[in-house]
C-alpha cells in the first residue's frame, strides 16, 4: 500500500527556516538526503520532491473562457506543502514509524525538530474511491 | 522547469466527499476529463507524475516522541486544506503551467458544468535551498 508523508509549514514558519544558521541548515539537508537513501535501501521508496518557497506559489483557476486566472494572495493560516515522500509499505504502522523518523530531523541548534508529518494512503486509481 | 499543480479541498466544504454523491454520468465525465488531461500531458512530453490521495478522514498526523517512536493524532484544524491530488509537469514557462492548471480547474462537475476549482501552482526545487 502506498502512503504519502507530507511536510507542511505556514508562511511564518517558512520565514523562520530562512534564518537558520548555515550549520543547522546543512545538518537538516544531510539528514534528508540520508533519509531518502535509507528508504531506497529498505526497498520502500517510491518518490520524493521538495517544493519551492510560498512566495513562488500561485493559485490558478479557469475563467469563463477556460483561460487561467491567477492570484498570489493566500490566507495567513495556509499551510504550504514543503515536500513529500511516497513510500510503499505493508501497514499504516510502518508508515507512521517512517514518518516519525523524518519528524525527528534536526532543526535549530541540531535538536530534533519533531515537526508534524501528515500521512495518508495514496490512491492507485479512481476504483480505490469506489468510482 | 518542474511545477507541481495541487488540488486542495477543505474538510468542511465536503467538496471531495461530495463527489461520491454525483450522478454516475457526471462522475464519468469528470474522470474522463482527468484521464484525457494525463494522456495529453504524456503525449506532449510534459507529464512527470500524478497521484490522487484518499479522503481526509484517512489522514493521520505523526510526530516523533522523545524516544523517536511515532505519536499519532487524527485531529486537524477546521481551516486545514487537504491535498486531494497533484500533477507534476515539466514545462518551459510558468504561463504554460498555469494553462495546464486551468485545464484541470475546468474539470466538469455536477451537470457537466466546469468546477473552476482553485489549483495551487509552485515550482519544484531541483535541490535543497542555497
Interface confidence, given as ipTM, is 0.89
| Per-residue pLDDT at A103 exceeds 90 | yes
Q: pLDDT tens across B47-103, in order?
A: 999 999 988 889 999 999 988 999 999 888 888 889 999 999 999 999 999 999 999
Task: For A32, name the nearest residue in chain B, comparing CA atoms only.
Answer: B128
Contact between B5 and B104 under an 8 Å Cβ cutoff? The reply is yes
Q: How far is it, in rounded angstroms, from Cα A34 to Cα B48?
A: 24
Instruction: Using alpha carbons, select from A8, A5, A9, A28 the residue that is nearest to residue A85.
Output: A5
Q: Which of residues 21-40 of A touch B (CB under 8 A)?
A: 25, 29, 32-33
The mean predicted confidence, pLDDT, of chain A is 91
Q: Which of residues 74-113 of B touch A (CB under 8 A)?
A: 77, 79-81, 83, 85, 88, 94-95, 98-99, 101-103, 105-106
Interface touch B81/A68, C-beta < 8 Å: no
Residue A56 at interface with chain B, using a CB cutoff of 8 Å: yes
Interface touch B70/A99, C-beta < 8 Å: yes
Q: Given pLDDT bands bounded at 50, 70 and 90, which one contains residue A98?
A: very high
Stated as kind and residue range, the H or E segment containing B102 is: helix B94-105
Q: Given pLDDT bands bounded at 50, 70 and 90, which one contains residue B130?
A: very low
Following DSSP, what letter does each residue of A49-66 receive, concatenated?
A: EEBPPGGG-EEEEE-TTS
| Per-residue pLDDT at B32 exceeds 90 | yes
CB < 8 Å to A129, chain B: 19-20, 52, 54-55
Interface touch A51/B124, C-beta < 8 Å: yes
Q: pLDDT tens across A35-83, in order?
A: 999 999 999 999 999 999 999 999 999 998 889 999 999 988 899 999 9
Amino acid at each position: 500500500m502506498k502512503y504519502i508523508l507530507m511536510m507542511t509549514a505556514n508562511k511564518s514558519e517558512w520565514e523562520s527556516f530562512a534564518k537558520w544558521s548555515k550549520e543547522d541548515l546543512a545538518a537538516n539537508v544531510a539528514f534528508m538526503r540520508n533519509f531518502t537513501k535509507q528508504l531506497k535501501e529498505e526497498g520502500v521508496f517510491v518518490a520524493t520532491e521538495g517544493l519551492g518557497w510560498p512566495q513562488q506559489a500561485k493559485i490558478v483557476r479557469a475563467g469563463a473562457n477556460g483561460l487561467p486566472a491567477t492570484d498570489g494572495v493566500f490566507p495567513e493560516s495556509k499551510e504550504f506543502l514543503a515536500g513529500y515522500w511516497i513510500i510503499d509499505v505493508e501497514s499504516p504502522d510502518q508508515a507512521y514509524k517512517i514518518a516519525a523518523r523524518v519528524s525527528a530531523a534536526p532543526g535549530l541548534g541540531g535538536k530534533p525538530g519533531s515537526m508534524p508529518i501528515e500521512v495518508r494512503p495514496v490512491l492507485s486509481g479512481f476504483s480505490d474511491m469506489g468510482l | 522547469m518542474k511545477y507541481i499543480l495541487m488540488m486542495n479541498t477543505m474538510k468542511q466544504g465536503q467538496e471531495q466527499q461530495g463527489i461520491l454523491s454525483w450522478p454516475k454520468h457526471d462522475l464519468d465525465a469528470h474522470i474522463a476529463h482527468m484521464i484525457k488531461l494525463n494522456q495529453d500531458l504524456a503525449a506532449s512530453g510534459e507529464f512527470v507524475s500524478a497521484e490522487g490521495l484518499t479522503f481526509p478522514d484517512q489522514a493521520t498526523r505523526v510526530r516523533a516522541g522523545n524516544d523517536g517512536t511515532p505519536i499519532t493524532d487524527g485531529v486537524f484544524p477546521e481551516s486545514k486544506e487537504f491535498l486531494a491530488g497533484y500533477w507534476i509537469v515539466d514545462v518551459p514557462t510558468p504561463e504554460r503551467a498555469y494553462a495546464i492548471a486551468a485545464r484541470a480547474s475546468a474539470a466538469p462537475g455536477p451537470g457537466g458544468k466546469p468546477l473552476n476549482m482553485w489549483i495551487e501552482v509552485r515550482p519544484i526545487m531541483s535541490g535543497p535551498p542555497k
